[in-house]
Amino acid sequence: MNIDKYRIISEDEQRARFLLMEETIDRGMISIVEGKKLLLENKFSSEIYESLKEKEVFVEIDGNIGYIYPVSGFPTHHRVKRADGKEFYAMCAVDALGTYKTFYQNIEIESICSETGEKIQVVIEEGEIVKYSPENIHVLHVDLDKFKNWAANC
């Protein structure tokens, strides 16, 4: 698994990725047909979608774009609210924390501990955690190099 896969995509692929992410944030999960149409309507070549798929920038599930890192088309325990007011589900807690660096906006995270069911809140402003509860939270994650499909193993 190449952990730098988001750094090796072209500028056009990166812009297409963000377009698909924003559409998923705005509408929820979108179909593969809708995703391809959206890219074509926005002047991307028809090869861009296939290239993003080949590079595993998103995961197709049952005819839909299920995940487009770090955004989940499915509800998860990790809800993120951006400074612009848009809200979405992150694939996992680590992805939720990283969304500030994806969108460069202050974020509020509401999550649920997978072990205890306890509510967790984190606020990130200007790239720094400025508020969190409970006081004793910790983030654990697995070695994702063991998995080909990260989205299915968050």
Question: What's the chain's average pLDDT?
Answer: 87
pLDDT tens digits, residue range 23-49?
999 998 999 999 999 999 999 988 999
List the chain domain ranges: 11-66, 78-146
Residue 110 pLDDT greater than 90, yes or no: yes
Structure confidence at residue 138 (pLDDT) = 75
CATH assignment of 78-146? 3.15.10.60
pLDDT tens digits, residue range 51-95?
998 888 899 999 999 999 899 999 999 999 999 999 999 998 889
Tokens standing for residue 23: 């559409």
**Distance from chain centroid for Cα 59:** 11
Q: Buried b vs exposed e over 94-110: b needs ≥16 C-beta within 10 Å?
A: bbbbbbbebbebbbbbe
